[in-house]
């Protein structure tokens, strides 16, 4: 089949949270949009077990409000948290953040990926966008005024702007020949849902213990979603423990702050790799979300950075009759602003991991001193917290 003589303004490949948000934003500004996703359409059921959880910052929540989906996402087991406690197992270093003290409504929200994706897809259904779940592409044809995406079922989608939102191993990025710098952390993130003896107090808890970083994120039903990053061999050992031994190891790894771990869900683990694409666009193709960058989950910022890409692309990409959504000026402005911001976050995470991970006595005492100083100084705390909350935090 030939390409339609009238290409779409924007074709998004990858219908995860980032791709679905781009597609929705583009459709709402009057663009003709198609969304291609290799998996089935996401469906969320209130009765289903909790799966992958992310923390959203205020800037991400503002984007979801702008797209008209924030309320629906929060109604689907989303949960606000008002405090954060971050401490070090090997020194007296401890940082606490409080929404009231910082003058913000909340420090963040825990949401389930599936709830976010399903809500965005439902909102897309109310637009003119063409949704293509269960669909794969096989070839690209680069033309001066568009890119033709050849699908496996022989249809061809013409795209004035082709958005690669196809995840960390982005096949589109590879096909475009955009090099990516990889930084393997030689670590895995073990995730599970647990219930604890003491209530989570609407607080996000995080304990550093050299190369182990453990986060307990508060959920709406009183349980916590955990992300436990640790060296690969340790993670494999932890995955093999029976539930009772896992619960005991987890209790100790959190220094007993929430008491006994009373129940644990099945566990999963992800290999942790930092990535940064050397360019975020090539011709009419642009990268967003994990296709452009991935970072260590220690600050829970991966999805927030992806949603920040979406906000910036929607802001810069020309809309309205006769405008070209892939204008070279807009795409290079997007690359400049997002690459710098994401690189800064990637390096900050490296520094934080090194600072908390080092057992050198000098670093350990500097760490205790520095962190205590930050904790005592409200202005510094505001600085760190507002960075994590995002530009509109």
337 versus 372: smaller Cβ distance to ligand FAD: 337
112-151 residues in contact with ligand FAD (CB under 6 A) are 136-137
Of 119, 304, 317, 342, which lies in the binding site for ligand FAD, with binding defined by CB under 6 A?
304
CA 379 vs CA 97, 375, 385: distances in Å = 12, 10, 10
Quick one: which segment of 96-104, 120-128, 174-182, 299-307 binds ligand FAD (CB under 6 A)?
299-307
Residues of span 24-43 touching ligand FAD by CB under 6 A: 36-39
Interacting span for ligand FAD (CB under 6 A) from 11-19, 92-100, 366-374, 384-392: 11-19
Stretch 53-82 residues interacting with ligand FAD (CB under 6 A): 54-55
Closest by Cα among 188, 254, 225, 230 to 54:
225
The only residue of 78, 300, 325, 393 in contact with ligand FAD, by rule CB under 6 A: 300
167 or 393: whose CB is closer to ligand FAD?
167
By the rule CB under 6 A, 171 interacts with ligand FAD: yes
Does position 165 interact with ligand FAD (CB under 6 A)? The reply is: yes
Rounded least distance, CB 269 to ligand FAD, Å = 8
Residue 308 binds ligand FAD, judged by CB under 6 A: no
Counting contacts by CB under 6 A, is residue 7 touching ligand FAD? no
Q: Which is nearer to ligand FAD, 88 or 290 (CB)?
A: 290
- Whose CA is closest to 147, among 157, 155, 137? 157
Residue 88 in the binding site for ligand FAD (CB under 6 A): no
The residues of the shown chain that bind ligand FAD, judged by CB under 6 A, are 13-19, 36-39, 54-55, 136-137, 165-167, 171, 189, 191, 227, 270, 289-290, 297, 300-304, 306
């Amino acid at each position: 089949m030939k390409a339609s003589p009238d290409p779409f303004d924007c074709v998004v490949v990858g219908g995860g949270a980032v791709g679905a948000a781009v597609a929705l934003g583009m459709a709402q500004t009057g663009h003709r949009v198609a969304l291609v996703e290799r998996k089935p359409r996401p469906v969320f059921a209130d009765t289903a077990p909790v799966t992958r959880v992310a923390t959203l910052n205020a800037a991400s929540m503002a984007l979801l409000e702008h797209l008209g989906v924030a309320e629906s996402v929060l109604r689907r087991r989303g949960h606000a948290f008002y405090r954060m406690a971050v401490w070090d197992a090997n020194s007296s270093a401890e940082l606490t953040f409080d929404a009231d003290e910082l003058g913000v409504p909340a420090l963040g929200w825990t949401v389930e990926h599936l709830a976010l994706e399903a809500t965005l897809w439902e909102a897309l259904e109310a637009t003119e966008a063409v949704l293509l779940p269960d669909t794969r592409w096989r070839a690209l044809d680069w033309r001066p005024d568009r890119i033709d995406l050849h699908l496996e079922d022989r249809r061809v989608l013409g795209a004035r702007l082709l958005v690669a939102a196809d995840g960390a191993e982005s096949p589109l990025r590879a096909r475009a020949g955009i090099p990516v710098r990889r930084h393997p952390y030689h670590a895995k993130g073990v995730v599970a849902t647990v219930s604890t003896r003491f209530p989570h107090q609407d607080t996000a808890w995080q304990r550093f213990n050299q190369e182990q970083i453990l986060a307990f994120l508060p959920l709406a039903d009183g349980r916590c979603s955990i992300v436990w990053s640790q060296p690969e061999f340790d993670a494999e050992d932890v995955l093999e423990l029976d539930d009772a031994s896992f619960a005991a190891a987890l209790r100790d790894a959190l220094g007993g702050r929430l008491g006994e771990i009373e129940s644990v869900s099945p566990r999963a683990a992800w290999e942790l790799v930092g990535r940064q694409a050397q360019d975020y666009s090539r011709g009419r193709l642009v990268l967003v979300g994990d296709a452009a960058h991935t970072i260590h989950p220690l600050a829970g910022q991966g999805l927030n950075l992806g949603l920040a890409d979406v906000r910036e692309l929607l802001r810069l990409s020309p809309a309205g009759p006769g405008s070209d959504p892939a204008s070279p000026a807009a795409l290079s402005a997007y690359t400049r602003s997002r690459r710098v911001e994401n690189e800064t976050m990637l390096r900050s995470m490296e520094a934080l991991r090194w600072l908390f991970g080092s057992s050198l006595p000098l670093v350990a005492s500097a760490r205790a001193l520095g962190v205590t100083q930050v904790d005592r100084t409200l202005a510094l705390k505001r600085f760190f917290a507002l960075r994590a909350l995002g530009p509109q935090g």
